[in-house]
Structure 1
Amino acid sequence: MSDEATITATEPHAATGLPYAAEELRTERLLLRPLNSGDLENAHEFERLKDVARYLYWEVHDHDESAEHLRKRIAMNRLAADGDGIVYAVELPDPEGGHSRVIGHVSLFLKKAEWAKFEMGWVFHPAVHGRGYATEATTRLLELCFETLGGHRVFAQLDARNEASARLCGIIGMTQEALLRGSEIYKGEWSDTAVFAILEDDFRAGR
């Protein structure tokens, strides 16, 4: 067997395009932008809803808790070292030229630059579920990872009962790799964690 035949489609590599400072990302219908201090009311609208907080690590937030949570996430606007993250507001522009509407947040974390490994997450207002917005926004994040940052692997971890997020993982090309039974005490009870992931080869094969 020749040396050429043993080479896989993607050679091992570290993440490229780092450091990366958050910038606006666009899709056909959406604008993804870094959070800012003007997003408090939008953030609180999400975080006070029980349906939104059901499978997240935080409880329903009051206004002050939303403000503190937003302050921490605004500071997450650059990827340079392991553990860094970026949180984007997902805006639905008004076709009539009025104020855009924030319908969700998506996040991206650099887990290990040496292995080009990233983690992503999302939360969307229940009022916009079923319209493909989450698919559009998370697909754009995958494009950022694999086409700009040289990603090798992107994964998501979620409460195994979160059927909507599990479906989204499948839609954007992720495969469930593990079910960690009783892995965390989540809001007072043991919970299973589902791990989904997509590799660069998978992403490019699906284009």
Structure 2
Amino acid sequence: MGEAIEMFKASKEREDYVRVLDFLPYGRIDDDRPAYQKKPLIQAIGEKSFVLMELTPKKGKEAVMHQRLYIGKGERDIVDHVNCRIRYDELTHAAKAELKHVLAEIVKENEERFLDVYNKSYPITTRLHILDLFPGIGRKFVNMILQERKKGEFTSFEDLSRRVKGLYHPEKIIANRIEEELSEKNVKYRLFTTTV
């Protein structure tokens, strides 16, 4: 199992909000039951700990991709109940295709939380820095980020892109790392997710 990096480790709190990855009005395709026994399903991802899950909507309710749904305690508009956590390989093709876009939206909307990745990351070993774990960030960018960081913390993703020439869409870099942690079983260091 992978080692969790304490600084960015997934929250142990229950998810209150999820984002829709796919809506299956007739349930799972691999469900062998007769059509009248199948119930609609929503595949979604939690905003705090990036937990993948399947939900059952209330009767007559539908969900659209990227929609933000409340699943916390109390009255819910669309979701009747949370069925279970699921693994990446249980996602539909459509859900997998939307995942990177939904993750980028979550990261961008929670910029302050995720900016810490660039402002407060640290070396894991003498040869490996947390920033080395991110797809799309090579040693050159790691060094540039660390040099710029000495001049003062980054105030936004836009500030980061402006100060580190050639580093575009820092939110997508983080989203790609989260997707990698969700899709790969043998990730050595987990920054944002936990195992199912």
Give the TM-score taking structure 1 as reference length. 0.24
Which has the larger helix fraction? 2
Which has the larger strand fraction? 1
- More relative contact order, 1 or 2 (CA 8 Å, 6+ apart): 2
